[in-house]
Amino acid sequence: MFFSMLMLTGALAFSQAHTVSGTIKDAQGGAVPYATITEKGTKNATTADAKGNFSIKMKGNGDLMITATGFEANSVASSGDVVNVSLKTSTTELATVTVTTALGIQRNKNTLPYAAQQISGDEVSRARGANAASALSGKVSGLQIIQGNGIGGSTNVVIRGIKSLTGNNQALFVVDGVPINNANNNAINRTPPDQKRKDQTTGGGGYDYGNAAADINPDDIESINVLKGAAATAIYGSRGANGVIMITSKKAKRGLGITINSGIVESSIDKTTFPKYQKEYGAGYSDPYEKDGFFYFDVDGDGVKDLVTPTTEDASYGTKFDPNLLVYQWDAFDKTGPYYHTARPWVAAKNDPSTFYISPVSNNNSIMLDGVNDKGFFKLGYTRNDEKGVLPNSHVMKNIINFGAGYNIIDKLTATASVNYSKIDGKGRYGTGYNGRNVNQNFRQWYETNVDLKEQKEAYFRNQQNVTWNWSNPKDELNGLKPIYTDNYYWMVYQQYETDTRDRIFGNVSLNYKLNSWINVMGRISLDTYDELQEERIAKGSNIVSMYSRFNHGYTEKNYDLIANMDRNLTADINLKALAGVNLRRISENSMLALTNGGLIGPGVYSLGNSLNPINAPTETNTPRAVDGYFAGATLGYKEFLTLDGTIRRDRSSTLPEKNNAYNYYAISGSWVFSKNLQQADWLSSGKLRLNYATVGNDAPWGSILDVYNQPPPFGSAVLFSLPGTKNFSDLKPEYTKSKEIGLEMAFLKNRIGFDATFYHTNTTNQIIPVALSTATGFTSKFLNAGDIQNEGIELTVYGSPFKTREFSWDITVNWTRNRNKVLELFGDSKNLQLGSFQGGVSINATLGQPYGTIQGKTWGMIDPNDPTKIVPWDGSGEKLVKSNGRYYTTTTTNNVIGDVNPDWIGGIYNTVRYKGISLGFLIDIRSGGDLFSLDRYYGLATGVTVETTQLNDLGNPSRNTIADGGGVIMPGVTADGKPNAKRVENTYGTYGYAYNPNAAFIYDASYVKLRELVLSYALPQSWLTKTKIIKGAELSIIGRNLWIIHKNLPYSDPEENLSSGNIQGYQSGAYPTTRTIGANLKLKF
């Protein structure tokens, strides 16, 4: 169906007609760039270039309407071939900006009665990131973006806070009116051996495959409008409750245009986000082992016992380095290596794990063609983004083709179609979480500082063998020369990488019929379909059981829309816009996961057939769903300064019980452009007040009504079934979000400065959640309607142009967001809902009366201020209690709130400085407050990997010396008698880490200030380009992303680094360092 539209392009013939060209200037004679020139009464329009020049092929001989941001509209006759137009700076109105609102309806921002923030496609794509969603960070108020550092990883996109306790809180992505699936399909770690499915999002290992909105081509984005509140999005139905990222793809321009972008970037790690290793002590766990902290046996057969590195010990609390001490290290057991059976000086490694990271060059190329004439338009684009990761052998390739065309079949009937095809191929995505597949887990938590990474590299590449530093038993040459816990890292990335591929088509065909001058009817069928395959491997010869798994997943969503629109002036002062429509949504989704059982037969063959034991039945899912929606909306405008807007929608969803499956919701909003009533105040350029209220209903997750059984693999000939952990509920009702919003927009000094402020308040009630039960019920959770989360916040956007002359300008936009979130009700008397529990004994929770996302775990104790005989959990300010053995007292309870993942506020400062053809744009992205738990510190400090563990003590002696030798440390705090602790303890394994300190010691403030983007562009002068006669525009940019973390409080790591997108944030394990990219891009227009 889509491809039939291809034929229409053949019909695009460029008819000859009367052409008008000219220049648009301001009152001072300066060029007005990018004005829109429209032939009145038609859709025929064009855009002026940066110099204000335009050319338009006229359909008739009507007037031309010229509009430009910040200027009053002007209308001129089109008589003659050359028309020069002068525009007056707008003084009394908000700039006439049209924004794309829900269902793709264009509206004048002046009268919009709800919060919406639009940014241009250029702002998203100019830093040449591969992911449009990540590029929004700091650029829109109310929008929180969290992105991990893995290649092609997922992006957490939340607008106005977490609303649903356990459901999806991610914003809805809509491209040209069509919802795009943005699922994160990472949830399961498929690595055996225990066959128990662990959740990737809670640190159970596995890979971050990214979310599906990454398939949107940043180069095909004309603009992004973020609809933040329910009033703006209610018409989208349930999925709009979390806000909508409305993406309008590029529209073709008059004539034939070609745009080419070609760029390369080099990536490297930001070393401030990587551990600083101590260089004084080597392998071991504070144990003498067989002799002096070493294994002790005859290596070279001379009958004399030798000192051997304790290769099994993945910690660095061992023997002090001493270049005069000769030790047989891991390489003494590598037969092919230069140091086989050779002792080497006991010294710190020259090349620490940061040398594992590479600085690859990635490239990005795109070409966009477009054309428009009287009968229609087309566009065709191709983008190839070849992104290489900083881990060796990691790579994500995106190939995206965009096609769009429209044709005016008859005067009143227009057909349009768009198709996007994308193919994403990933290889070697980074392993995540607390899992051996994550190389950083070792680098940050379990490492021997005597291991030289470069020597490990050479050892692997000599024969592509798994030559590890972590021999399981070097004494046993026959069976012990294999990894005990850790493979050679190069073996890991070159032998057992994952691969994945996703083929996706999304697009739509529509017919638009103009019934009369004020009613048109649109019918549209849209499709979003993808198939993906994720294959994971563990090579034979690794430290764990070899394995191959394949996960096939298919998703198809079809939307059938029929929408009638009217736009009529009821009287000279009153305008009515109304719409009514029906949307039928049909989703089919299925998956199959199959994996080998018990290992692989032969090496190198990754197929199910190569399974050592017969494979267990694959796990299949089939979860179709349907939602029928009926909606209507009306907008009444009075003299362009009062607007009243209302929408209603009724949905029927297949996931709810039949008797409760229909639900209604509505939104009402109003705005008053009060500056129209204050025209005598000439300092005020414009002012608008907005007010709205909305409710949005939501349905249930698939399969939460009927009870079914789980089926484990059979035990011999015994068939097994089991009750699932979650009890379903046959009487679920829809859940509702209610939201209120008040906003004020003002601009001053002829629009030189202005702001847009919004206060909002939402409650999501009657939530459909699997409430956590005591497992003594026999279930972990049960679906119910329960819970209430409140979000209250302020969004503020301030913009201004401190300098503006013809040649020099500086524009600045500041976005600031403060959200306060509170769990008002859970289920019955329950006070806590555990969202995820993690390695290290901490959990992330929704706790009654607290913000969503409390971190709970063990904390220090302190003497009860009211009763000195009692010990109470540390209150955050008292003196920490030290036990008589000199170590901290730790609570036995694990339900102490020790952190809150929510930031106090987030913000972005976005600057653009222009001088003639040069422009410099940079974005400072800020997060203030919010906590995270670092498992990296929890273990890394215990194992003595980082420099803090070798510091000097209060006596000025090396703290790792024995106390007898002047070493040891004193833990700050008080003893049970209230006196300051004076007991010195040995600085051994665990002293600074988990073994002797509560979880609370590893909670860090996740604030940061980042120089997120910097783009320096130079547009080649038009005068040079005109000589070429072909090139219409050329711009060379130097671009940088994540250049500098200006401020952070988390040592050696990026506070933004996370495991995956989703509701559970605030936990780091094996965190990857920040990837810094610097590159150049050339943009040519023909």
Partner 1 sequence: MGACTKDISRFNDETKNSSNVAAETLFSNAVRNVVDGITTPNVNDNVFRFTVQHWGMATYEDEVQYDFSTRAIPERWWARMYRDVLADLKESARLVTADEKLDATAKANQLAMIDIMQVYTFQILVNTFGDVPYTEALDFNKPFPKYDDSKTVYLDLLTRLKADIAGLNDSGAGFIAAQDLIGQGSVSKWVIFANSLLVRMGMTIADEDDATAKSSFEAGDPKAISSSSDDIIFKYYGGSPNTNPIWVDIVQSGRLDYVSAKPLVNLLDSFVDPRLPLFYKPNSDGQWVGGIVGSVNTFSATARPSDKVAAPDFPAVLADYAEMEFYRAEAKERGYTVAGTAEEHYNKAITASIVSWGGTAASAATYLMRPEVAYTTATGTWKQKIGTQKWIALYNRPFEGWTELRRFDFPVLSLPVGAKSGFPNRLTYPGNEQQLNGTNYTDAASRMGDDKVEFKIFWDKF
Least distance from partner 1 to the Cβ atom of residue 560, Å: 6
CA–CA gap between residue 338 and residue 332 (Å, rounded):
8
Nearer to partner 1, 540 or 914 (CB): 540
Nearer to partner 1, 52 or 836 (CB): 836
| 977-1016 binders of partner 1 (CB under 8 A) | 994-995
Which residue from 261, 273, 145 is spatially nearest to 211, judged by alpha carbons? 145
Nearer to partner 1, 754 or 990 (CB): 990
Nearer to partner 1, 128 or 782 (CB): 782
The helix or strand, by DSSP H or E, that contains position 457, with its residue range, turns out to be helix 453-463
Stretch that binds partner 1, among 103-111, 250-258, 675-683, 779-787 (CB under 8 A): 779-787
Query: Which residue type, as a one-letter code, is found at position 567?
Result: D
Instruction: Count Cα neighbours of 631 within 13 Å in the Cβ-side half-sphere.
Output: 29
What is the chain's Cα-based Rg?
Answer: 32
- Structure tokens, 820: 């306060």
Least distance from partner 1 to the Cβ atom of residue 486, Å: 11
Q: Should residue 723 be labelled a site residue for partner 1 when binding is judged by CB under 8 A? A: yes
Pairing of strands 735-748, 788-804: unpaired
3-class DSSP state of 211 = strand
Q: Should residue 670 be labelled a site residue for partner 1 when binding is judged by CB under 8 A? A: no
| 607-666 binders of partner 1 (CB under 8 A) | 612-614, 616, 620-622, 624-628, 652-655, 657-658, 661
Nearer to partner 1, 303 or 716 (CB): 716
CA–CA gap between residue 983 and residue 969 (Å, rounded):
8
Q: Should residue 526 be labelled a site residue for partner 1 when binding is judged by CB under 8 A? A: no
Least distance from partner 1 to the Cβ atom of residue 297, Å: 8
137: left (phi over 0), alpha (psi -120 to 50) or beta: beta
Beta bridge partners of 477: none
Nearer to partner 1, 591 or 751 (CB): 591
Among 114, 295, 631, 1067, binds partner 1 (CB under 8 A): 295
Query: Could you give the residue ranges of the DSSP H alpha helices within 242-401?
Result: none
| Angle at 64 (CA atoms; ends 63, 70), nearest 5 degrees | 140
Least distance from partner 1 to the Cβ atom of residue 274, Å: 25
Count H helices and E strands in the chain, helices first: 8, 63
Q: Should residue 513 be labelled a site residue for partner 1 when binding is judged by CB under 8 A? A: no
Query: Which residue type, as a one-letter code, is found at position 679?
Result: Q
Using CB atoms within 10 A of its CB, is residue 717 exposed (0-12), middle (13-18) or buried (19+)? Answer: exposed
Nearer to partner 1, 654 or 911 (CB): 654
Stretch that binds partner 1, among 324-332, 389-397, 837-845, 970-978 (CB under 8 A): 837-845
Query: Given the structure tokens 């120089």, which residue do they identify?
Result: 1011
Nearer to partner 1, 12 or 538 (CB): 538
Nearer to partner 1, 402 or 704 (CB): 704
Least distance from partner 1 to the Cβ atom of residue 452, Å: 22
The helix or strand, by DSSP H or E, that contains position 1024, with its residue range, turns out to be helix 1022-1028
| 582-601 binders of partner 1 (CB under 8 A) | 582, 584, 586, 597-599
| 331-360 binders of partner 1 (CB under 8 A) | none
Least distance from partner 1 to the Cβ atom of residue 169, Å: 22
Least distance from partner 1 to the Cβ atom of residue 992, Å: 16
Nearer to partner 1, 178 or 547 (CB): 547
CA–CA gap between residue 888 and residue 913 (Å, rounded):
54
Q: Should residue 1 be labelled a site residue for partner 1 when binding is judged by CB under 8 A? A: no
Site string for partner 1, 147-186 (x = CB under 8 A): ----------------------------------------
From residue 896, give the alpha-carbon distance in Å to each of 855, 890, 977: 8, 11, 24
Query: Other CB atoms closer than 10 Å to residue 977's CB: what's the count?
Result: 8
- Structure tokens, 250: 């590029």
Query: Other CB atoms closer than 10 Å to residue 801's CB: what's the count?
Result: 17
Least distance from partner 1 to the Cβ atom of residue 591, Å: 10
Among 30, 323, 338, 712, binds partner 1 (CB under 8 A): 712
| 297-316 binders of partner 1 (CB under 8 A) | 310, 312-314
Please give the distance of CA 28 from its chain centroid, rounded to a whole number.
Answer: 45
Among 104, 255, 480, 958, binds partner 1 (CB under 8 A): 480
CA–CA gap between residue 1014 and residue 327 (Å, rounded):
49
CA–CA gap between residue 313 and residue 943 (Å, rounded):
10
Q: Should residue 473 be labelled a site residue for partner 1 when binding is judged by CB under 8 A? A: yes
CA dihedral in degrees (510, 512, 513, 516; nearest 10)?
Answer: 160
From residue 22, give the alpha-carbon distance in Å to each of 35, 48, 49, 51, 335: 12, 9, 11, 11, 79
Nearer to partner 1, 785 or 1042 (CB): 785
Stretch that binds partner 1, among 375-383, 838-846, 906-914, 1076-1084 (CB under 8 A): 838-846
Least distance from partner 1 to the Cβ atom of residue 545, Å: 6
The helix or strand, by DSSP H or E, that contains position 781, with its residue range, turns out to be strand 781-785
| 853-892 binders of partner 1 (CB under 8 A) | 856, 858, 892
Site string for partner 1, 737-776 (x = CB under 8 A): ----------------------------------xxxxxx
Least distance from partner 1 to the Cβ atom of residue 811, Å: 48
| Angle at 575 (CA atoms; ends 570, 581), nearest 5 degrees | 100
End-to-end CA separation in angstroms for the chain? 31
Nearer to partner 1, 652 or 740 (CB): 652
Among 240, 840, 853, 873, binds partner 1 (CB under 8 A): 840
Stretch that binds partner 1, among 94-102, 287-295, 359-367, 406-414 (CB under 8 A): 287-295
CA–CA gap between residue 1058 and residue 1061 (Å, rounded):
8
Nearer to partner 1, 51 or 482 (CB): 482
Nearer to partner 1, 286 or 512 (CB): 286
From residue 587, give the alpha-carbon distance in Å to each of 507, 533, 1009: 15, 19, 41
Among 62, 104, 670, 703, binds partner 1 (CB under 8 A): 703
CA–CA gap between residue 46 and residue 938 (Å, rounded):
60
Nearer to partner 1, 475 or 1085 (CB): 475
Nearer to partner 1, 897 or 970 (CB): 897
Q: Should residue 287 be labelled a site residue for partner 1 when binding is judged by CB under 8 A? A: yes
Q: Should residue 705 be labelled a site residue for partner 1 when binding is judged by CB under 8 A? A: yes
Among 482, 650, 750, 1085, binds partner 1 (CB under 8 A): 482
Number of residues forming the site for partner 1 (CB under 8 A): 107
CA–CA gap between residue 230 and residue 240 (Å, rounded):
7
Q: Should residue 713 be labelled a site residue for partner 1 when binding is judged by CB under 8 A? A: yes
| 895-934 binders of partner 1 (CB under 8 A) | 895
Site string for partner 1, 528-567 (x = CB under 8 A): ---------------xxx--------------x-x-----
- Structure tokens, 340: 């086989």
- Structure tokens, 421: 């095809």
Which residue from 390, 386, 382 is spatially nearest to 425, judged by alpha carbons? 386
Q: Which sign, positive or negative, has the C-alpha torsion 327, 328, 331, 336? A: positive
Nearer to partner 1, 336 or 893 (CB): 893
Pairing of strands 684-698, 662-672: antiparallel
| 189-218 binders of partner 1 (CB under 8 A) | 193-195
CA–CA gap between residue 224 and residue 99 (Å, rounded):
9
Stretch that binds partner 1, among 75-83, 711-719, 758-766, 970-978 (CB under 8 A): 711-719
